[in-house]
Chain A
Amino acid sequence: MAVSYEMYQEQILDHYKHPRNKGSLPSATKNARDTNPLCGDEVVLHLKIDGSDRIADVRFEGQGCAISQASASMLTTIVKGMSLGDATALDRDAILKKLGIPLSAVRLKCALLSLHVLKVALGPKPDVSK
């Protein structure tokens, strides 16, 4: 595949077509949702935090482009089992490294949507509308 198709390498397409941890989580203790108004990408995160401040379980729901949905799927695999402290400290580099693809400024927003939703969920005032 040509270099410029790097954005759509196997890994990304795999997470897009076979998303991990996708669905609802009735036992969730923290939820957040956000959209990327530019593309209409949507990511909802459901987190179940256990007594020892660990992310015991996580699910995501959403729709959108391959980059936004693959990154959400990857994010769930990263944070599952993580301590709240570590999850709060996650930065964009962790996600971008995992994605491992060159992204334009516009598509960066797609890639980082799920991380943003995680921050909202773990932040002081999580959006519980969804």
Chain B
Amino acid sequence: MARKDRMAKPAKMLLNVPAIQADFPILKRTVRDKRLVYLDSAATSQKPKQVIEATSDYYSRYNANVHRAIYELGEESTREYEGAREKVADFIHAKAASEIAFTKSTTESINVIAYGYGLKGKIQKGDEILGTVMEHHSNHVPWHFVKDHKGAVLKYVDVADDGTLKMEQYDDLLTRHTKIVTVTLCSNVLGTINPVKEIAKRAHEVGALCVVDAAQAAPHMPVDVQSLDADFLAFSGHKMLGPTGIGVLYGKAELLEETEPLLGGGEMIREVHLGWAKWNDVPYKFEGGTPNIAGAIGLGVAVDYLTKLGMDAVRAHEMEVTQYALEKFDRLKGVTTYGPKDVKRRAGVVSFTIEGAHPHDIASILDVEGICIRSGHHCAQPLMERFDLPATARASFYIYNDLDDVDALIAGIKRVQEVFA
């Protein structure tokens, strides 16, 4: 009977963490003779050897510019670069690879949308752009430009004390004047996973578009742009095992057509004359100049790596680590955590404060123990103001973190409390 019960439980799809750790050369190093405990993957993830080797392989075996060279090396580099685009498209369930433009980052992707669709495109004076208080600066500032140059009106959905969006307020703020709703799928401070499918649905009901910042989501959970019905979506390679300097802009084909490019130059043109030019097709018109070829190829391999693990398994693993961490945090006196308590509604990002110790001092002391966490405002000052916090400390988990890492963090926090006792 007992056995049957156990079998009736859904099988946990956990990761083989020791095998994963073995793929990450950096995890073998020590910091001041201590084991490296890397808990800052929300800022940037570490890279597996497969990704590192893929980029060096490009440089050492078939380095050539893409799309232009007639010779064999150029064909190989173009094939790999375009292959990476297809992998990324599959990864987020885009309808076609042409809906994927490579940029340098989430930041650049959102700027392309705000500039090319908003500022130079469809947005008129008085049109409303609806954001949220929990956005990263990169999903705030580009919209400020649209306000400043086009007279758009910016409005924001507030965050409730439990770290979730005030959805009733969203309904109130959403009107026929709303042209764009822009929201993060997952908060880089609170870990909150926002109901973007519902947000997009309601946006579409009033004729607004939904722009999604997936910088913290794409690395950590399955993302399906068609199921979300996202109009635009942005994320960064470096937070999902890929190299720095490569980012993704997804847009529905017809919307990318309507979006003006941000960078003019080579690669993005069909023909150029004195004084005027015709642009290349989507997505190439967004890729002015020689792109980050090695970065794109590396990102393609990162996507392979994650796909092989399975994004459901990645998510399940992080839920387990986060659950364990939240339980441990709960037992600490004088320590506050932020964001939803229910791991089904949050990702593996845990912001916390310790009574009497500033987050920077927390990070400094943990650093002595070889533990890397982030401290500060996490590029989310409006959110910090909302919670009346000058700064928080933040630990974030990924596929190579296990419960030992959480234990090390908790021990480190106790050490901080001793120092500041």
Residue with the highest number of chain B CB atoms closer than 10 Å, among A4, A65, A110: A65
Q: Hey, what's the 0/1 contact readout for B212-250 against A, CB within 8 Å counting as 1?
A: 000000000000000000000000000000000000000
**Nearest A residue to B391 by beta-carbon distance?**
A40
Are A39's CB and B376's CB within 8 A? yes
Among B361, B376, B391, point to the contact of A67 (Cβ < 8 A). Answer: B361
Which chain B residues border A2 with CB–CB below 8 Å?
A: 368
The interface-forming segment of A5-13, A24-32, A75-83 is A5-13
Which chain A residues border B365 with CB–CB below 8 Å?
A: 5, 8
Are A5's CB and B360's CB within 8 A? no
Are B390's CB and A63's CB within 8 A? yes
Among A4, A42, A64, point to the contact of B360 (Cβ < 8 A). Answer: A64
Q: How far is the CB of B403 from chain A (nearest CB, A)?
A: 25
Are A40's CB and B377's CB within 8 A? yes
Residue with the highest number of chain A CB atoms closer than 10 Å, among B358, B359, B368, B376: B358
Interchain CA distance A4-B358 in the complex, whole Å: 18
Interchain CA distance A111-B359 in the complex, whole Å: 15
| A89 on the B face (CB < 8 A) | no
| A92 on the B face (CB < 8 A) | no
Among A5, A7, A38, A66, point to the contact of B358 (Cβ < 8 A). Answer: A66
| A107 on the B face (CB < 8 A) | yes
Which chain A residues border B361 with CB–CB below 8 Å?
A: 8, 65-67
Q: Hey, what's the 0/1 contact readout for B352-392 against A, CB within 8 Å counting as 1?
A: 00000111110011001000000111000000100000110
Are B419's CB and A5's CB within 8 A? yes
Q: Number of B interface residues at 8 Å Cβ cutoff, please give it.
A: 17
Are A40's CB and B420's CB within 8 A? no
Are B368's CB and A107's CB within 8 A? no
Are A13's CB and B420's CB within 8 A? yes
Are A13's CB and B391's CB within 8 A? no
Interchain CA distance A8-B376 in the complex, whole Å: 19
Which chain B residues border A107 with CB–CB below 8 Å?
A: 360, 364
**Nearest A residue to B390 by beta-carbon distance?**
A40
Interchain CA distance A8-B384 in the complex, whole Å: 26
Interchain CA distance A19-B420 in the complex, whole Å: 14
Query: Contacts A4-B32, A8-B419, A66-B358 known; A39 to B364 CB distance under 8 Å?
Result: no
Are B376's CB and A40's CB within 8 A? yes
Pairs A–B under 8 Å by Cβ, sample size 29: A2-B368, A4-B32, A5-B365, A5-B368, A5-B419, A7-B364, A8-B365, A13-B419, A13-B420, A39-B358, A39-B359, A39-B375, A39-B376, A40-B376, A40-B384, A40-B391, A63-B390, A64-B358, A65-B359, A65-B360, A65-B361, A65-B364, A66-B358, A66-B361, A66-B420, A67-B360, A69-B358, A107-B360, A110-B360
Please give 19 more A-B residue pairs, beta carbons under 8 A apart, in addition to A40-B376, A67-B361. A4-B32, A4-B368, A5-B365, A7-B364, A8-B364, A13-B419, A39-B359, A39-B360, A40-B377, A40-B384, A40-B390, A42-B390, A64-B358, A64-B390, A65-B358, A65-B361, A66-B357, A66-B358, A66-B420
